[in-house]
């Protein structure tokens, strides 16, 4: 069994244990209600409960013994202290108390022993078995079913031993008098067995479904740690699975972000400090991207690549991307403010975005897949991100993307600075750029630091 399967099994056991403990409280109250009903019948209708011919009435003694036990059981169930031994003894006690009530009925009415087999209290065995299904425990369900059959079989055996002459093979005679018909009693025992088996199958199937649900929940939770919500949804909704070599054309926006000077920092700082800084950086920057409908394509050390409208079609991808850029700017300023308070050097960032036709699909092989985005917009966004350093700005985009975002509902709060006819390294023609975020004045001329 793999580690994931073991963890799923442990999670299932914890869930079942909680369900079982809650179910035991319900069982305790049902049993108290059950015995209270019989006590009410006994005390409210005394004529039906008077002894005749000097016969012994056992019900008050059974009630006196069973009631304190039920109250103790209720107390232990609320305290979550019904262990295996205690619960096993409780099941035996519950079942044999029902059998004792059935057995005592012939004494209560002064009838022959087979009279007890006509007692409607027999249906309480079904209740006992059904209550066990609430806890999703096959073990205790089987124990209750088997002990119910054994307890009732003892009542049948007593009736035969005490009155062997009252055995009959005639059903009408048995139904109309105090006669023992073994066929009828065997049918009752078989009915207990059948109900037990059906509930065992139902509980077993429910446990499997619960395990599957827990496994899927954990898989989805794990998936959400590696993929953005759109990617996770795409994987989960793919009925035939995602295969390498398959892609889809999209009009999308690509966002590139970089933490300046990280490569140098990684050689100067302790490994744990480097990873802590990287984790802090990524955790702060991912949320603004997700909030605006973006998808993390990949983490590239200190770089983040995200796309908007690639994983699933969107009519607002450009506007969503620019809104994310502005939130990223705010997140960067807030982080630097916290670092100033902690007497730590401030950090520099570069952000760029571009729009265009891209291909979104899976690369790799069947054993190791990666969902990614490729296309000219990806290349352009990467080059623009590098250009932010040469232009001494924090965030930049093309005029084409800016106007498209306006068409898609983006409403800037301020007028952004333009850089017309700007040469960008690696781009064969000049570009009209829009500066989305200026480099903070206090960082002018400051070298990147941790």
User: How deeply is 247 buried, as exposed, middle or buried, from its count of CB atoms within 10 A (0-12, 13-18, 19+)?
Assistant: middle
> What would the two tokens of residue 437 be?
């975020």
What are 211-255's pLDDT values in tens digits? 677 666 665 665 555 455 555 665 555 444 456 667 788 999 999
DSSP strand E in 177-259: where? 247-259
Name which of 181, 37, 38, 36 is nearest 100 in CA terms: 38
What are 167-204's pLDDT values in tens digits? 888 888 887 778 888 989 999 999 999 999 999 999 88
What are 253-304's pLDDT values in tens digits? 999 999 987 877 777 888 888 889 889 999 899 999 999 989 888 888 889 9
Name which of 373, 372, 387, 378 is nearest 356 in CA terms: 378
Place of tokens 């064969």: 428
Pairing of strands 393-398, 349-365: parallel
Distance between CA 75 and CA 70 in Å, rounded? 9
Mean pLDDT within 101-105? 88
Contacts of residue 239, defined as CB under 8 A and 6 or more positions apart, other chains included, come to none
> What would the two tokens of residue 261 be?
């000077």
Place of tokens 């019900």: 59
């Amino acid at each position: 069994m793999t580690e994931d399967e073991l963890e799923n099994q442990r999670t299932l056991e914890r869930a079942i244990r909680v369900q079982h403990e809650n179910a035991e409280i319900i069982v305790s109250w049902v049993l108290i209600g059950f015995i209270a009903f019989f006590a009410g019948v006994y005390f409210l209708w005394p004529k039906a409960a008077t002894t005749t011919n000097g016969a012994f009435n056992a019900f008050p003694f059974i009630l006196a013994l069973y009631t304190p036990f039920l109250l103790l059981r209720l107390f232990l169930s609320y305290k979550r202290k019904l262990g295996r031994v205690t619960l096993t003894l409780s099941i035996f006690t519950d079942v044999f108390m029902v059998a004792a009530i059935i057995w005592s009925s012939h004494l209560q009415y002064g009838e022959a022993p087979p009279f007890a087999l006509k007692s409607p209290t027999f249906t309480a065995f079904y209740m006992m078995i059904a209550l066990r299904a609430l806890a999703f425990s096959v073990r205790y369900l089987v124990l209750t079913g088997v002990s119910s059959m054994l307890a009732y079989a003892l009542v049948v055996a007593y009736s035969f031993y005490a009155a062997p002459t009252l055995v009959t093979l005639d059903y009408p005679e048995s139904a109309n008098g105090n006669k023992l018909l073994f066929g009828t009693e065997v049918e009752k025992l078989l009915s207990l067995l059948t109900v037990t088996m059906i509930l065992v199958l139902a509980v077993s199937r429910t446990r499997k479904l619960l395990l599957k649900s827990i496994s899927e929940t954990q898989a989805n939770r794990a998936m959400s740690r590696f993929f953005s919500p759109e990617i996770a949804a795409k994987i989960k909704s793919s009925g035939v699975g995602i295969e390498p070599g398959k892609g889809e054309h999209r009009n999308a926006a690509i966002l590139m972000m970089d933490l300046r000077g990280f490569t140098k920092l990684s050689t100067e700082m302790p490994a744990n400090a480097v990873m802590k800084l990287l984790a802090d950086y990524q955790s702060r920057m991912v949320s603004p991207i997700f909030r605006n409908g973006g998808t993390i394509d990949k983490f590239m050390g200190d770089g983040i690549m995200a796309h908007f409208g690639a994983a699933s079609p969107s009519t607002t991808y450009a506007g969503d991307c620019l809104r994310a850029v502005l939130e990223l700017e705010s997140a960067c300023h807030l982080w630097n403010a916290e670092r100033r308070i902690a007497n730590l050097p401030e950090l520099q960032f570069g952000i760029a975005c571009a729009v265009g036709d891209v291909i979104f699909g899976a690369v790799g092989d069947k054993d190791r897949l990666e969902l990614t985005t490729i296309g000219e917009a990806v290349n352009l966004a990467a080059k623009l991100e590098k250009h932010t350093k040469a232009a001494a700005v924090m965030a930049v985009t093309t005029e084409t993307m800016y106007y498209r975002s306006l068409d898609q509902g983006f409403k800037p709060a301020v007028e952004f600075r333009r850089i017309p006819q700007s040469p960008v390294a690696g781009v064969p023609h000049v570009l009209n750029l829009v500066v989305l975020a200026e480099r903070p004045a206090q960082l002018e001329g400051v070298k990147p630091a941790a």
